[in-house]
A = this chain, B = another copy of it.
Amino acid sequence: MKLFEPVTINGLTLANRVVLPAMVTRLSGEDGFVNDDIRRRYLRFARGGPGLIVVEAMSVHGGKSGPLLRLSSDEFVPGHADLARRIHDISPSKVVPQIIHFLKIARSGWRQKVADLGPEDLSEIVAQHGAAAGRARAAGYDGVELHMAHAYTLSSFLSRLNRRPDDYGRSLENRMRLPVEVIRRVRAEVGADFPVGVRFDGEECIKDGYTVVDAREIALRMAREGVDWISVSAGGKFEDAIHKPGQPLYPYTGYSGDRCMPGAAYPDGANASLPEAIKRHLNAHGLFTPVVATGKIRTPELAEALLAEGRADLIGMARALLADPDWVRKVASGRSDHLVRCVYGNICKNLDENFRKVVCVLWPKGSLQAPASDDAVAPRWGETGAALRAEAAPSGVRVSWAEATDNEAVYGYEILRSVDGGSFEHVHSVKTTCWTDHAVAAGARYRYAVRAYDLAGNRTPTSNAADIELSAEAGADPGAAKAAGEAAS
């Protein structure tokens, strides 16, 4: 698979094409130091062996924020040096920090805007990025990623809504000016041989925001400035965020937030056209800066297809790796059927929004980290099998089954569904033994089955299948469904 072909970026060889994009954990304190929980989180990721780990955004300045890592002064370096060393000790994964500058926000809903910044502010932002990147190098990180996406300072400069009347606003060239100054200062600070990546939005996903038409040009400029990779996100803006009284604005609460972290309602690879168009544009101009695709890429098949079809150079997976940090290890060893699959319910996003420690809803209750197990014994159904049933319910189809058992612990149940005789697809995972499918339509035939999985991702055999056909009569109650259970497996 192309997914497991190494790639070298400015002298840095990644063992595979999987990138863990920066994902806030809220595990640090407000002091911004690397602590035990942070270390555990990233060492857990490292054990899974993604080609590149981007450690969550850490601030280049002293701006007040909720729990967030910092790289804003030298006192933070030892913690990062320790983290980088530990990761390198146990894993082939390369690791870089993402560095961020953000403006002020208040609980009133007020927020500082790019138009409020004076010339000294701009110089300071440039200098702060340079210094933080220097600290990243001093800490032994393998490179640094500059955060120019979402609602933060550099993204707000790139925004088509940046109407600053001076040389830093309005025209595309002016909007790129500060980001380019940052790139140049960072490069001057870290030297030519230290990998510097950028993450930015391929589309703002807000009214009058920029689209991939501008993003292509921005990427081209960054590539010409010698950036070593371009990681493409989308949305996540303040402009359409919903202000909750008494809370500071959280930039992932509007439509652009939906697009930034596409949930269950979105198709796989919802934003894949953005990196594709950017990569095509770079390549057409003779530039081959690696492009990272992100946004609900969860299956090995899609990840591989994006690479094989030349639509991306690297595959970013945040939530999929949160659900299963061993994704790479399992897929590389042909055990894709052992993956713990993210259900894109965005509980993690909700925890982040509320400044609570970010965990995965699939993990065992109370756990701050994904479980790790090398157990090879699969869970089993009891003597009467799974006894799966599917019944019409007022709001959809209710599926229920018997408990499975395991030598360690049953971790959850994967629900599989086929529509109108199609193949089984994973539609959800739960920890309980029942679930109601609300996404059903009259006139269709559904077949359900479940598999229990343990902490290592070993599965039971697929349960018996239960069929249900929903009447096509308009006005009919789903209760008119005809259900037929098959013999237990």
A interface residues (Cβ-Cβ under 8 A, vs B)? 160, 167, 170-173, 176-177, 180-181, 184, 205-214, 217, 220-221, 224, 240, 242, 253-258, 265-267, 270, 273, 277, 284-285, 395-396, 420, 422, 438-443, 470, 472, 474-475, 477-478
Contact = CB atoms under 8 A, between A and B. Distances in A.
- How many monomers of this chain does the complex have? 2
A172 B441 contact: yes
A240 B221 contact: no
B474 A180 contact: yes
Given A181-B475, A442-B173, A478-B173, A277 B285 contact: no
Contacts of A242: 207
A420 B442 CA distance: 55
A266 B215 CA distance: 11
Contact of A207 (B184, B217, B258): B258
Contacts of A395: 170-171
Nearest to A268: B213
Main secondary structure of the interface of A (DSSP, over half): loop
Given A167-B475, A177-B474, A265-B160, A254 B440 contact: no
A94 to B, nearest CB: 29
Given A172-B441, A210-B265, A255-B256, 7 more contacts: A171-B439, A180-B474, A205-B255, A207-B257, A212-B267, A213-B267, A284-B422
Nearest to A472: B224
Contacts of A439: 171-172, 214, 217
A470 B224 CA distance: 14
Contacts of A253: 207
A83 to B, nearest CB: 33
A160 B263 CA distance: 14
